[in-house]
């Protein structure tokens, strides 16, 4: 029996070279979004294209858009992937392909429905076939099978030739297949409400613009740098107001950022190689310079796969006795808000702040709530000493003095005064004036003050978020970042079986007191992580001590975005 679902299924686009699957998966997902139905494409590819390119588009009217391991329908764009795509289709599913190339002999299943389309032949009938005519014809046929109106696809296509290819594929399928051959369908909906369709990368760039960042140094993410500059031009009218600098390494990139922030700029860097920045992070911590680092975490050895593998590196980089505030966004909306807030935090605390994104969150399109842009919103530059303040001082100004209250000391920007307020930014041992000293008392006082600043930062960072909390329930689940959506859906599936979890989403480090209370109040607590070594658990044990010892780990580290099916299966095993 064939699968029959409306506005709730997974379509897998598969190709042999990596980019077609992403292009047409994203095009299809955008068309579904324009029909008012939430959708999210997950692109999976290898760095050197040795493996087939996959783009799984999940359509779900209830906005459950985490990766699902099911493949209800496969669209095989190129002959080399016919067999692998065919084998992954679920029982009762559908397989759409270009039948001008024969299916391999091993593709003989009787439990799926095969939908052959002579796409190459049809492409030759077009007056001016575009380069991707065959793929567009298959996409047009897909729109017919799913009862998706052609208008959204035609609206998204560039050029009449592309539109003609989609129309030809749709018309051929309509003429040669009965209506409802495929029992999967898309019906117009209002489920997306006023949501927007955007990637974490674009949201991050917009957050930096909103925070009035004017300097970006990068070394391994040209695509983001180009997009950031383009968005500055689009929203601010003049891209010359920002500097985008390509550095030779991660350390050089952060070093350039620190030079810009010392000068008074709001500056940031983006990286997938955080370890390269360790020395510069230590310098920024002890010199007390603000900076924002957007860390796009990838799987070790696979720079196109995702993992939450930099938690310990980010939290305690450098030589020791250093800690850094971390923010954990879970969707594009939080990529926007947390990136913007990171600049305020960095200036207020005079320290680097890291936004912990990952490859999946950064690159995947997702439906999220709209951003609220307030032109009147100011920026918090922290404790700055101005010309008037310096004029009133009778004694020498102490850059690292007056930090008794919360550990944060006043700073000046170059040009604040004609002959006062200058200071040297250095990671070496220094006294309150910034002068070099190795006096043990001075060094100990400085470390103690930095610890006080660390403790005071807890009140400024985003608190954990609890979506389900029943005081009578003794089962708890913790998660963070891009694990959020799969965790929530898995919890929802268990609730239908009358097994309920209280949830808490970690949003920042240092940890909020509510996190410790949550662990203490539950008999069993499960922590979802996307890394092998349980890095968040190690951090929890180190910071909270014995309460964290009763946490049970649920780990995924295969480099793929964590799936709801995996969490559901592992929770069932733990219980």
381 in a structural domain: no
pLDDT class of 120 with cuts at 50, 70, 90: very high
- 170 and 228 inside one domain: no
pLDDT range class, residue 51, cuts 50, 70, 90 = confident
Closest CA to 86 of 118, 108, 65, 61: 108
In a domain, residue 352? The reply is yes
Look at residues 402, 427, 459 and tell me which one is the last residue of a structural domain: 459
Answer yes or no: are the C-beta atoms of 26 and 41 closer than 8 Å.
yes
Exposed e or buried b per residue across 382-420, where buried means at least 16 C-beta atoms within 10 angstroms of its C-beta: beebeeebbeeeeeebbbbeebeebbbbbbbeeebbeee
Q: What is the pLDDT of residue 557?
A: 95
Which two three-digit tokens encode residue 162? Answer: 């592309």
- pLDDT exceeding 90 applies to what percent of the chain? 75
Residue 2 per-residue DSSP state = -
Rounded Cα distance, 506 and 340, in Å: 19
Q: What is the CATH number of the domain that holds 560?
A: 3.40.50.920
Q: Are residues 16 and 47 in the same domain?
A: yes
Instruction: Say if 180 falls within a structural domain.
Output: yes
pLDDT digits (tens, 9 = 90+) for 334-378: 999 999 999 999 999 999 999 999 999 999 999 999 998 776 666
The yes-or-no verdict on residue 88 having pLDDT over 70 is yes
Alpha-carbon dihedral of residues 150, 154, 157, 160, nearest 10 degrees? 130
Whether the model pTM is above 0.75? yes
Render pLDDT for 274-331 as a digit per residue (tens, 0 to 9).
999 999 999 999 999 999 999 999 998 888 899 999 999 999 988 778 899 999 999 9
Residue 470, pLDDT score: 83
Residues whose CB is less than 8 angstroms from the CB of residue 532 and which lie 6 or more positions away in sequence, other chains included: 309, 555, 557
81 and 18 within one domain: yes
The overall average pLDDT reported for the chain is 92
Strand partners, 98: 117
Q: What separation in angstroms does the CA of 98 have from each of 121, 276, 376, 402? A: 9, 46, 55, 72
Same domain, 181 and 203: no
Do residue 332 and residue 402 come from a single domain? no
Same domain, 83 and 222: no
Residues 536 and 446 in one domain: no
Domain count, the chain: 4
- Residue in this structure with the two tokens 């936004």, named with its chain if needed: 355
Q: Which pLDDT does position 267 carry in this prediction?
A: 97
310's tokens: 């930099």
421 within domain boundaries = yes
Is 63 within the bounds of a domain? yes
**Residue 538 forms part of a structural domain:** yes
Same domain for 426 and 504? no
* pLDDT attached to residue 49: 67
Q: What range defines the domain where residue 484 resides?
A: 475-574
Same domain, 249 and 163: no
Position 197 confidence tier, pLDDT thresholds 50, 70, 90 = very high
Is 218 found in the same domain as 153?
no
- Per-residue pLDDT, 360: 96
Residues 418 and 484 in one domain: no
Q: Are 306 and 366 in contact (CB under 8 A)?
A: no
Rounded CA-CA distance 202/200 in Å is 6
Residue after which a domain boundary falls, among 304, 333, 368: 368
- In terms of domains, do 400 and 511 share one? no
SS3 call for 74: strand
**Residue 217 near residue 347 (C-beta atoms within 8 A):** no
Q: Is residue 378 part of a domain?
A: no
More confident residue, 317 or 535: 535
In the predicted structure, residue 458 carries a pLDDT above the cut 70: yes
Torsions phi, psi of 279, nearest 5?
-65, -40
Per-residue model confidence as pLDDT tens digits over 467-492? 878 888 889 999 999 999 999 999 99
Axis-axis angle for helices 222-236, 200-210 (nearest 10): 50
Instruction: Label residues 484-501 b or e (16+ Cβ within 10 Å = b).
Output: bbbbbbbbebbeeeeeeb
Tell me: pLDDT of 35 over 70.
yes
Distance CA 213, CA 266 (A): 5
The kind and range of the H/E element at 113 are strand 113-117
Q: How far is CA 214 from CA 203, 208, 209, 222, 281, in A?
A: 16, 9, 8, 17, 20
> Residue 123: is its pLDDT beyond 80?
yes
Structure tokens at 318: 């450098």
What's the pLDDT at 345? 96
DSSP 479-522: EEGGGHHHHHHHHHHHHTTT---EEEEE-EESPPHHHHHHHHH-
Take residue 538 and report the two structure tokens written for it: 């190690």
| pLDDT tens profile 235-249 | 888 777 789 999 999
Q: Which of 429, 459, 489 is the last residue of a domain?
A: 459
State the pLDDT at residue 378. Answer: 67
- Residue 149: CA count within 13 A, CB half-sphere: 12
The confidence score (pLDDT) of residue 416 equals 83
Instruction: Write the CATH number for 362.
Output: 3.40.50.970
Is the residue at 229 inside a domain?
yes
């Amino acid at each position: 029996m064939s699968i029959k679902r409306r506005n709730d299924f997974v379509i897998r686009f598969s190709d042999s070279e990596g980019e077609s699957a992403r292009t047409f998966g994203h095009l299809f997902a955008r068309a579904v979004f324009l029909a008012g139905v939430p959708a999210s494409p997950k692109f999976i590819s290898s760095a050197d294209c040795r493996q087939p390119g996959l783009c799984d588009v999940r359509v779900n009217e209830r906005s459950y858009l985490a990766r699902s391991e099911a493949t209800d329908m496969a669209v095989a764009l190129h002959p080399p992937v016919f067999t692998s795509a065919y084998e992954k289709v679920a029982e009762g599913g559908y397989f759409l392909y270009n039948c001008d190339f024969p299916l391999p002999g091993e593709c003989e299943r009787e439990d799926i429905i095969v939908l052959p389309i002579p796409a190459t032949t049809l492409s030759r009938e077009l007056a001016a076939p575009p380069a991707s005519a065959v793929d567009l014809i298959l996409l047009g046929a897909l729109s017919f099978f799913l009862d998706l109106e052609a208008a959204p696809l035609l609206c998204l296509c560039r050029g009449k030739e592309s539109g003609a290819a989609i129309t030809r594929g749709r018309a051929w399928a309509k003429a040669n297949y009965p209506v409802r051959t495929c029992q999967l369908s898309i019906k117009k909906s209002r489920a997306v409400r006023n949501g927007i369709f955007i990637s974490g990368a674009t949201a991050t760039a917009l957050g930096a613009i909103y925070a009035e960042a004017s300097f970006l140094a990068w070394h391994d993410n040209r695509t983001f740098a180009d997009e950031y500059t383009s968005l500055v031009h689009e929203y601010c009218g003049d891209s010359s107001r920002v500097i985008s600098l390509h550095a030779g390494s991660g350390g050089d990139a952060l070093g350039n950022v620190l030079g810009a922030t010392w000068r008074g700029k709001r500056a940031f860097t983006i990286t997938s190689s955080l370890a390269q920045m360790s020395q510069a992070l230590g310098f920024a911590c002890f010199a007390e310079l603000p900076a924002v680092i957007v860390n796009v975490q990838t799987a070790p050895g696979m720079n196109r796969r995702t993992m939450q593998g930099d938690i310990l590196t980010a939290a305690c980089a450098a030589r020791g006795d250093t800690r850094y505030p971390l923010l954990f966004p879970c969707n594009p909306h939080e990529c926007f808000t947390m990136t913007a807030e990171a600049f305020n935090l960095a200036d207020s605390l005079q320290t680097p702040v890291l936004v912990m994104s990952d490859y999946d969150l950064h690159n995947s399109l997702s439906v999220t709530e709209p951003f609220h842009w307030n032109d009147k919103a100011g920026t918090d530059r922290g404790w700055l000493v101005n010309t008037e303040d310096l004029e009133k001082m009778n004694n020498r100004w102490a850059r690292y003095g007056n930090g008794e209250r919360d550990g944060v000391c006043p700073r000046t920007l170059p040009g604040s005064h004609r002959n006062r307020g200058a200071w040297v930014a250095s990671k070496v041992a220094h006294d309150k004036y910034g002068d070099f000293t190795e006096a043990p008392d001075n060094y100990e006082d400085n470390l103690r003050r930095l610890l006080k600043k660390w403790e005071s930062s807890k009140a400024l960072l985003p608190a954990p978020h609890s979506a389900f909390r029943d005081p009578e329930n003794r089962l708890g689940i913790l998660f963070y970042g891009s694990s959020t959506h799969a965790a929530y859906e898995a919890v929802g599936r268990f609730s239908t079986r009358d097994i309920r979890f209280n949830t808490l989403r970690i949003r920042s480090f240092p940890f909020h007191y509510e996190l410790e209370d949550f662990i203490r109040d539950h008999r069993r607590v499960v922590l979802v992580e996307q890394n092998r070594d349980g890095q968040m658990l190690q951090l929890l044990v180190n910071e909270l001590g014995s309460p964290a010892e009763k946490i049970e780990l649920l780990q995924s580290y295969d480099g793929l975005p964590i799936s709801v099916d995996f969490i559901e299966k592992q929770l069932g095993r733990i219980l």
